[in-house]
Amino acid sequence: MIWKIAWKNIWRNPVRSFVVIGSVTVGVFAGVFAIAFMNGMISQRVESAIDEEISHIQVTGKGFNLNNDPQITIPDISHTLSILDTVKGIRGYVERTIISGMASTASKSAGVQIVGINPAEDQKIFSLNKTIIEGTGGYFTKESKFNLALIGQDLAKELNIIRFLIDSAALSELVKEGVPDRILNKVSRFSGERFKNEKNFDKRMNDILLKEEISEYGQKIKRAAWSFREGSKLTLTFLDKDNNQVGAVFRLTGIYDTRNSIFEMSTIFVKNSDLKRLTGMNEKSFHQVILRLTDVDQTEAVTSELMDILPGLDVSNWKELQPDLAMMTDYVHEIYAFFMAIILAALAFGIVNTMLMVVLERTRELGMLAAIGMNRKKVFSMIMLESVFLSLIGGVTGMALGWIIVHLTARNGINFAQYAEGMEAFGYSAHVYPEIGADFFIMIAVMIILTGILSSVYPALKALKLNPIEAIRTE
Amino acid sequence: MKSYRMAWRNLWRNRRRTLITVASVFFAVLFALLMRSLQLGSYDHMFRNVIESYTGYIQVQNQDFWDDKIIDNVFDFTPELGNLIMEDPNANEIVPRLESFALASSGQVTKGVMVLGIDPEKEAFLSDVRSKLVRYRITEENVNGIKNSDIPDKIKKSLDIFIGNSYTSKTGLILDLGINKDDTATVLPIVEKFTRFANGFISKGIPEALIGNKLSIYLKAAIGDTLVLIGQGYHGTTAAGKYRISGIVKLPTPDIDNKVVYLPVDICQELYNAEGMLTSLAISIKDNHDKEIDRMISSLGLKIVPPMRVIGWREMNKLMINQMDADNKSGIVMIAILYMVIAFGIFGTVLMMTAERRREFGVLVAIGMQKTKLASVVVLEMIYVGMIGIAAGIAVSLPAIMYGFYHPIRLSRELAKMYEDYGLEPIMTFMPPDTYFFWQVVVISAIVIIAVIYPVRKIFKTETVISLKA
Domain-located, residue A233: no
Residue A108: pLDDT over 80: no
Distance, in Å, from the CA atom of A23 to the CA atom of A352, rounded to the nearest integer, reads 13
In this structure, are A343 and A423 located in the same domain? yes
Domain-located, residue A317: no
Instruction: With a cut of 70, list the residues of chain B below it in pLDDT.
Output: 1, 53, 413-414, 417, 420-423, 464-470
Selected residue with higher pLDDT from B121 and A226: B121
Do the Cβ atoms of A194 and A218 come closer than 8 Å? no
Nearest chain B CA: its distance from A245 CA (Å): 10
| Candidates A19, A349, A361; nearest CB to B24 | A349
| Candidates A323, A343, A347; nearest CB to B414 | A323
What pLDDT shows up at residue B285? 86
Q: Which residues on B lie below 8 Å from A108 (Cβ)?
A: 68-70
Helix, strand counts (H, E) of chain A = 20, 14
Alpha carbon of residue B201 to chain centroid: 28
Of the listed ranges A21-30, A156-165, A251-260, A288-297, the least confidently predicted one is: A156-165
Q: Give Cβ neighbours of residue A212 (< 8 Å, ≥ 6 apart).
A: none
Domain-located, residue A241: no
Domain count, chain A: 3
Q: E-assigned strands of A180-287?
A: 194-195, 226-228, 233-239, 245-256, 267-271
> What secondary structure letter does DSSP report for A407?
H
What pLDDT shows up at residue A28? 94
In this structure, are A193 and A258 located in the same domain? no
Best CA proximity match to B317, nearest among B49, B7, B26, B42: B49
| Candidates B230, B338, B421; nearest CB to A324 | B421
Please calculate the CA angle B323-B328-B332 and round it to the nearest 5 degrees. 155
Instruction: Encode pLDDT of A205-225 as tens digits.
Output: 777 777 777 777 777 777 777
Distance, in Å, from the CA atom of A99 to the CA atom of B110, rounded to the nearest integer, reads 10
Do the Cβ atoms of A60 and A313 come closer than 8 Å? yes
Q: Which residues on B lie below 8 Å from A19 (Cβ)?
A: 344, 347-348, 351
Do the Cβ atoms of A245 and A99 come closer than 8 Å? no
Q: What is the dihedral of CA B306, B312, B315, B320, to 10 degrees?
A: 150
Q: What is the dihedral of CA A394, A398, A399, A404, to 10 degrees?
A: 140
Do the Cβ atoms of A114 and A234 come closer than 8 Å? no
In this structure, are A149 and A171 located in the same domain? no
Do the Cβ atoms of B281 and B95 come closer than 8 Å? yes
Q: Give Cβ neighbours of residue B336 (< 8 Å, ≥ 6 apart).
A: none
Burial tier of A255 (Cβ tally within 10 Å: 0-12, 13-18, 19+): buried
Q: Give Cβ neighbours of residue A197 (< 8 Å, ≥ 6 apart).
A: A157, A160, A162, A163, A164, B67, B68
Q: Beta strand pairing status for B58-62 and B308-312?
A: antiparallel
Mean pLDDT throughout A150-157?
88
3-state class of A47 per DSSP? helix
In this structure, are A150 and A17 located in the same domain? no
Mean pLDDT throughout A377-398?
92
| Cis peptide bond N-terminal to B307, omega within 30 | yes
Distance, in Å, from the CA atom of B169 to the CA atom of B131, rounded to the nearest integer, reads 9
Distance, in Å, from the CA atom of A140 to the CA atom of A137, rounded to the nearest integer, reads 8
What pLDDT shows up at residue B118? 92
What pLDDT shows up at residue B413? 66
Distance, in Å, from the CA atom of A31 to the CA atom of A402, rounded to the nearest integer, reads 8
Residue A276: pLDDT over 60: yes
Residue to mutate among B344, B347, B350, B359, with most A CBs inside 10 A, is B344
Amino acid sitting at position B149: S
| Candidates A104, A111, A346; nearest CB to B28 | A346
In this structure, are A304 and A350 located in the same domain? no
Domain that holds residue A101: 63-157+251-311
In this structure, are A446 and A358 located in the same domain? yes
Nearest chain B CA: its distance from A306 CA (Å): 24
What pLDDT shows up at residue B465? 66
| CB contact (8 A) between residue B218 and residue A67 | yes
Of the listed ranges A404-408, A446-450, B164-168, the least confidently predicted one is: B164-168
Q: How far is CA A437 from CA A95, A442, B401, in A?
A: 35, 9, 37
Nearest chain A CA: its distance from B57 CA (Å): 21
Distance, in Å, from the CA atom of A111 to the CA atom of A104, rounded to the nearest integer, reads 9
Q: What is the dihedral of CA B271, B273, B277, B281, to 10 degrees?
A: -30
Domain-located, residue A289: yes
Distance, in Å, from the CA atom of A298 to the CA atom of A398, rounded to the nearest integer, reads 35
Do the Cβ atoms of B375 and B456 come closer than 8 Å? yes
Distance, in Å, from the CA atom of B337 to the CA atom of B329, rounded to the nearest integer, reads 12
Count other C-beta atoms under 10 Å from residue A91's C-beta.
Answer: 13
| CB contact (8 A) between residue B68 and residue A422 | no
In this structure, are A398 and A271 located in the same domain? no
| CB contact (8 A) between residue B341 and residue A357 | no
Range list of H helices, A285-373: 299-309, 318-321, 323-361, 363-371
Q: Which residues on A lie below 8 Å from B26 (Cβ)?
A: none
| Domain ranges within chain B, ordered by starting residue | 3-49+320-469
In this structure, are A300 and A355 located in the same domain? no
Q: What is the dihedral of CA B451, B456, B457, B458, to 10 degrees?
A: 100
Distance, in Å, from the CA atom of A173 to the CA atom of A164, rounded to the nearest integer, reads 14
| Candidates A19, A34, A112; nearest CB to B348 | A19
Residue B373, phi then psi, degrees to nearest 5: -65, -45
Compute the half-sphere exposure of residue B424: CA atoms within 13 Å on the CB side of its CA.
Answer: 23
Q: Which residues on A lie below 8 Å from B31 (Cβ)?
A: 342
Domain-located, residue A54: no
In this structure, are A304 and A445 located in the same domain? no
Best CA proximity match to B108, nearest among A154, A190, A242: A242
Do the Cβ atoms of A44 and A433 come closer than 8 Å? yes
Q: Give Cβ neighbours of residue A475 (< 8 Å, ≥ 6 apart).
A: A364
In this structure, are A448 and A333 located in the same domain? yes
Residue to mutate among A203, A349, A475, with most B CBs inside 10 A, is A349
Best CA proximity match to B311, nearest among B55, B43, B48, B70: B55
Residue to mutate among B17, B18, B110, B350, with most A CBs inside 10 A, is B110
The pTM of the full predicted model, rounded to 2 decimals, is 0.79
In this structure, are A274 and A407 located in the same domain? no
Q: How far is CA B182 from CA A209, B185, B186, B201, in A?
A: 67, 7, 8, 34
In this structure, are A149 and A185 located in the same domain? no
Distance, in Å, from the CA atom of B103 to the CA atom of A237, rounded to the nearest integer, reads 9
Distance, in Å, from the CA atom of B187 to the CA atom of B454, rounded to the nearest integer, reads 67
Q: Give Cβ neighbours of residue B19 (< 8 Å, ≥ 6 apart).
A: none
Amino acid sitting at position A386: E
Q: Give Cβ neighbours of residue B343 (< 8 Å, ≥ 6 apart).
A: B447, B450, B451
Burial tier of B146 (Cβ tally within 10 Å: 0-12, 13-18, 19+): buried
Domain-located, residue A82: yes
| Candidates A327, A350, A422; nearest CB to B326 | A422
Mean pLDDT throughout A56-71?
83
At A428, the pLDDT band (50, 70, 90 cuts) reads: confident
Q: Give Cβ neighbours of residue A231 (< 8 Å, ≥ 6 apart).
A: A251, A252
Range list of H helices, B357-412: 358-366, 371-406
Residue length, chain A?
A: 475
What pLDDT shows up at residue B246? 92
Instruction: Encode pLDDT of B122-174 as tens digits.
Output: 888 888 888 888 888 888 777 787 777 777 777 777 777 777 778 887 777 77
